[in-house]
Amino acid sequence: MNKKECFIGSISNYKGGTGKTITAVNLSAGLAIQKKKVLIIDIDPQSDTTRALMQDPMKINNCIYQLLDPGEKQPIDLKDCIYSTIHENLDILPNITETSGLEIPLAINFPESNWNLRNKIYDYVKDKYDYALIDCPPTLSIFVSNALYASDFVMIPVDAGSGNSLEGVKGVLELMQSVRDNGNPNLRFIKILINKIDRRKSAHKANIQEAQNRFGEENIFETTIPTSSVFETIETMRKTSVFSYSPTSKGAQGFRTFTKEFLSFFEPERSGE
């Protein structure tokens, strides 16, 4: 029996505060709970995903820094950069804040450096995992370009309470088209995920309507993630997923539903299960 296809995707919005890392952490955890073999790749030097999911971030030896560093003299084995997480079936390729210092060296090697991540991970990830999710920084930087060149798809989280996050959607779609035109033609946009929604607030309803008008209702996930003090607590703790911290909360239920919708997009034959 042949192994099922592995899908590699970037979670990106160049506007901050859109729930990007919360989406990356909890979707990857949700997929792992559904018995999928998942790798989360933290390409954001802020390293919030690393702190949330690694059992002991202090024990990082090799990580995304060594993989992307154009000055690295010794080839790094990808297996030495991958660690287990707090969830079974979920591994992580972590990051450290020092990676932010690689932006200029990588830019000097542009455009060849766009392919650094893909060249280092693609074959291994495709062989070992069902899904790989890349948590991108809130920029349109060389790190995001690396993520998109390594990806099969892009999904974009937005904050229901912020009209500015819709401008971030436009920026990511434009960068995605550039990547498609310059070497990764199979990269596709899947959908927008609306985060931090409170349907009692008129501004949230207006922003959702604006998103539907600008990008098409068919390009927005049916599932929305509610605003919740649970997420605020997790962000403050900077450690754990909603499934570990509060598995019966509305936030956890939102991500359970979203995980099923996400899986139905890639595995439609299983959508009725």
Is-above-0.85 flag for pTM?
yes
Q: 3-state DSSP helix/strand/coil percent for the chain, to nearest 5?
A: 50, 15, 35
Burial class (CB in 10 A: 0-12, 13-18, 19+), 174: exposed
Domain coordinates of the chain in residue numbers?
7-267
Kindly give the confidence (pLDDT) of every residue in the chain, 273 residues in length, as a single tens digit, with 9 standing for 90 and above. Answer: 345 689 999 999 988 888 899 999 999 999 999 999 999 999 999 999 999 998 777 789 999 999 999 888 788 899 999 999 999 999 999 999 999 999 999 999 888 999 999 999 999 999 999 999 999 999 889 999 999 999 999 999 999 888 788 888 999 999 999 999 999 999 999 999 999 888 888 888 888 899 999 999 999 999 999 888 888 787 777 668 889 888 899 999 999 999 999 999 998 755 444
Q: Which CATH architecture has domain 7-267?
A: 3-Layer(aba) Sandwich (3.40)
- The pLDDT tens digits for 169-188 are 999 999 999 999 999 999 99
